[in-house]
Chain A
Amino acid sequence: MSARAQTPNDGMASWIGKAFANRSFLTGFLITLLVAVVALTSFLWTPYDVTKLIIADKTQAPSLTHWFGTDHFGRDILSMIMVGARNSIAVAPVAVGIGMGIGVPLGMFAAARGGMVDEALMRLNDLVFAFPALLSAIMITAIFGPGAVNAIIAIGIFNIPVFARVGRAGALSIWPREYILAARAAGKSKTQITVEHILPNIANQLLVQGTIQFALGILAEAGLSYLGLGAQPPMPSWGRMLFDAQTRMVVAPWMALFPGMAIVVTVLGLNLLGDGIADILDPKSRRQR
């Protein structure tokens, strides 16, 4: 019975059942869902128009009319957070997509070839990795100009070495297995083996790393917009909001508090989701939950 539960073929339904029995996954999933819904809602409706400045209403404390208060231009913080969520939510999949799309094949190739090719690729990888992520993002946006799209690309580029590394390490642990040797004895090429045997067996690790990079991507985006290199005004973004709040911390603490909370909660949600997925996919930890 319990052995049966670990089979990879028990279909989607029971996998979902198992996933929702996992507390981290459930919490993470609900938070992420909430952020996504908020971001989507902002396209259709926000309590107030975020591009309209109403100076008369500036720096109002949270109240029934403005739940999260207003900023120094009299804009509604709740509405701004809702619109800002779009950016944060958009940055993660695209940046992770770039990182996975380029990083994983690189890692696979390095692991399959081995020797000098591996060495050269991974050292190059180290070189990219050696730059602090944010610094390289700043560099890229500085060259190509600030903007939401460039920020996303920059974050994607610093994801490449992460996935190359995780992919390579995972692949290296699979390559010496006997079933790979058996596949080679059956005459399969390295590319075929990578696609048929290696990738499915390291998909778990990549997926978990993906959720972590999601969270880091959101943080990086917030960091870039804080520095003014992300989404440009009047488009609100969480990082930008923090920057604006900085000088007004004493008079209007809510201006910093709510966007800060938004970042924390989103990152927390994604991390929990990642933890949950790791738990569910790892047969060894399954019993303990």
Chain B
Amino acid sequence: MSLLEVENLSLSIDETPILKSVELSVAPGEVIGLVGESGSGKSMTALTVMRLLPHLSRTSGRVTFDGIDILAATEDQMCALRGDDIGMVFQEPMTALNPVKTIGEQVAEGIRWHTRAGRAEAEERARRILDRVGLPEAKFPLSRYPHELSGGQRQRVVIAIACALKPKLLIADEPTTALDVVLQAQVLDLLRDLVAENHMGLLLISHDLAVVTEMADRITILRHGQVMEAGDTARVLSEQVHPYTRQLTQASMHVPERRPNAAAHHASSTGADKQGALLQVEKLTRLYPGRRLSLLRRGEPTRAVDDVSFSMMPGQSVALVGRSGCGKSTLARMVLALDKPSSGSIHFRGEDLTGKSEADLKPARRNMQVVFQDPYGSFDPRQKVERLVAEPLHVLDKVPTRRERREMVAHALHEVGLAEPDMDKYPHEFSGGQRQRLSIARAIITRPKLVVADEPVSALDVSIRAQILDLFAELNGKLGVAYLFITHDLTVARAITDEVMVMHEGRIVERGKTGEVLDHPQSEAAQALVAAAPDLHRAIARRMQEQG
């Protein structure tokens, strides 16, 4: 008998249909993957099971959990279920914990509430579960606050809260999306072990097919609130009967076609003559002051970037990969002259960028631009596209007239696949993928020689990600612009870069041709990254093998 049975579930919020006859079942000890792109209704399905839907929502159909009709249950009954028999893990470990309570309190809270256990007993149980999720008390006392933990550790606390009472069903909504690949692998292992130990059912929600394939026994693919295909993971993904399944898998494994460009072709970084280099970074170090220990004493400074040297040729596409917190973004900011290095030098087209005033940097700024990760955060919500995309234009020697400016913006929009009328819209009128196109339009409007892209596709859905990667590849060929791609996602690095630099704890530990480094990593850091990276090909192959 299934633990959770969702039959013919439809949901509408404020007259807008969200889910249409969704069918889903989870048996004890089973992992079900719920996959879909943003807006497909994955999270809403989870919230329906928890009955945590927003006001004005109307449901029909049946949801049965352990013999209880969820949709008809009273709020009191639901309160007893939530956190006890059904646990939930959220995506963002930063906001899922209360910053003013210690982790011990937060884990014990649910235990005390549901079991009426005393403070001491609840604390004891909290200690045990925290130990189980890999936060032993000796290193992580219960009196720690969330801000004292890293993202991965926080997600462990969230999992501890969800699993403290050994729920029968655990719902994990994008539990690893905010984590880097190594942490992702660890958290997924932990979830897998917990499922096996407690014979829990796990409903794993993710947009990442590779992750779901590695974890789930059965998979349900959702699109526009409807189930496209459901069934055994290996069968669904290997046969790819449904066109949408095929589209998703192909997008996940997409490698853009790249026109080899002449400049990059001749470039070889190892023996490059330093004259021709586009970017030359030497012995770059950035220290962050240590924690203040007393009024006059500070702790050891943190070496965010530690003695880094590298060079890039014009038109070359280089990936900078590493785990979160390894100093990738700090390095990128220094290259963009947005952050001052503590020591070392950066030469861009032969010109030293360090220690220059903003006015002296103008010519360099014209030739280097940036694309950020978050397509929602990288635009001022109160300005129209025309102004936003034209922002870099003021570094030009001759400030363009209004007409020229509109023409340039229109041209840039055209290059990234958007239309001219789009320039009179506000950023919120665009989807995530379109906004990332806007970011790219803003980056190329001054015809830069170098674009630094900081995780440019990690916030995007797979099919959109494939399109944006294509766009990057196309612009690389067309405009001859060099890319410094910062990413923790090796598939992205593999897709569009010539070379990879692996960064670990502020240092570059490995550099080489993309294929070579990713297939035969030498350094420990690179090996860890490669091993942890979810790979759809590999995952499907393994699934097939398991089933013979």
Q: Which residues of A contact B (CB under 8 A)?
A: 2-3, 6-9, 177-179, 181-189, 196-197, 200-201
B380 touches A186 (CB 8 A): no
Contact status of A7 and B429, CB under 8 A, knowing A182-B370, A185-B369, A185-B370? yes
CB distance from B422 to the nearest CB of A (A): 14
Closest B residue, CB atoms, query A174: B380
Contact of B382 among A2, A6, A187, A200 (CB under 8 A): A200
Expressed in whole angstroms, the Cα–Cα distance for A56 and B338 within the complex equals: 78
B428 touches A178 (CB 8 A): no
A178 touches B14 (CB 8 A): no
Determine, out of B141-149, B173-181, B269-277, B389-397, the stretch whose residues face the partner at the interface: B389-397
Contact of B426 among A9, A187, A201 (CB under 8 A): A9
Closest A residue, CB atoms, query B369: A185
B358 touches A177 (CB 8 A): no
Contact status of A181 and B370, CB under 8 A, knowing A186-B392, A186-B395, A187-B358? yes
**Chain B residues positioned under 8 Å from A182 (CB to CB):** 370, 372, 378-379, 391, 439, 442
Contact status of A187 and B361, CB under 8 A, knowing A7-B426, A7-B429, A9-B426? yes
Those of B371-387 within 8 Å (CB) of chain A: 372-374, 377-383
Contact of B395 among A178, A179, A187 (CB under 8 A): A187
Expressed in whole angstroms, the Cα–Cα distance for A196 and B380 within the complex equals: 9
B380 touches A201 (CB 8 A): yes
A187 touches B362 (CB 8 A): yes
Expressed in whole angstroms, the Cα–Cα distance for A189 and B370 within the complex equals: 17
The 5 closest A-B pairs by CB, nearest first: A186-B392, A187-B365, A178-B378, A187-B395, A178-B377
B341-379 CB mask vs A (1 if < 8 Å, else 0) is: 000000000000000001001100110111011100111
**Chain A residues positioned under 8 Å from B362 (CB to CB):** 187
CB distance from A206 to the nearest CB of B (A): 14
**Chain B residues positioned under 8 Å from A200 (CB to CB):** 380, 382-383
**Chain A residues positioned under 8 Å from B439 (CB to CB):** 182
Q: Can you spell out 23 A-B residue pairs with CB atoms less than 8 angstroms apart?
A: A3-B428, A7-B428, A7-B429, A8-B382, A8-B426, A9-B426, A177-B377, A178-B373, A181-B372, A182-B379, A182-B391, A183-B380, A185-B370, A186-B369, A186-B392, A187-B358, A187-B362, A187-B365, A188-B394, A200-B380, A200-B383, A201-B380, A201-B381
CB distance from A170 to the nearest CB of B (A): 14
Expressed in whole angstroms, the Cα–Cα distance for A9 and B226 within the complex equals: 34
**Chain B residues positioned under 8 Å from A187 (CB to CB):** 358, 361-362, 365-366, 392, 394-395
A2 touches B14 (CB 8 A): yes
Q: Is B130 an interface residue (CB 8 A)?
A: no
**Chain A residues positioned under 8 Å from B391 (CB to CB):** 182-183, 186, 188
B394 touches A179 (CB 8 A): no
Expressed in whole angstroms, the Cα–Cα distance for A39 and B378 within the complex equals: 48
- Give the residue among B338, B365, B368, B382 with the most A Cβ atoms within 10 A: B382
Expressed in whole angstroms, the Cα–Cα distance for A266 and B429 within the complex equals: 41
Contact of B378 among A6, A179, A196, A201 (CB under 8 A): A179
Contact status of A179 and B380, CB under 8 A, knowing A7-B429, A186-B391? yes
Expressed in whole angstroms, the Cα–Cα distance for A196 and B379 within the complex equals: 12
**Chain A residues positioned under 8 Å from B361 (CB to CB):** 187
Q: Is B336 an interface residue (CB 8 A)?
A: yes
- Give the residue among A7, A184, A200, A201 with the most B Cβ atoms within 10 A: A184
CB distance from A15 to the nearest CB of B (A): 14
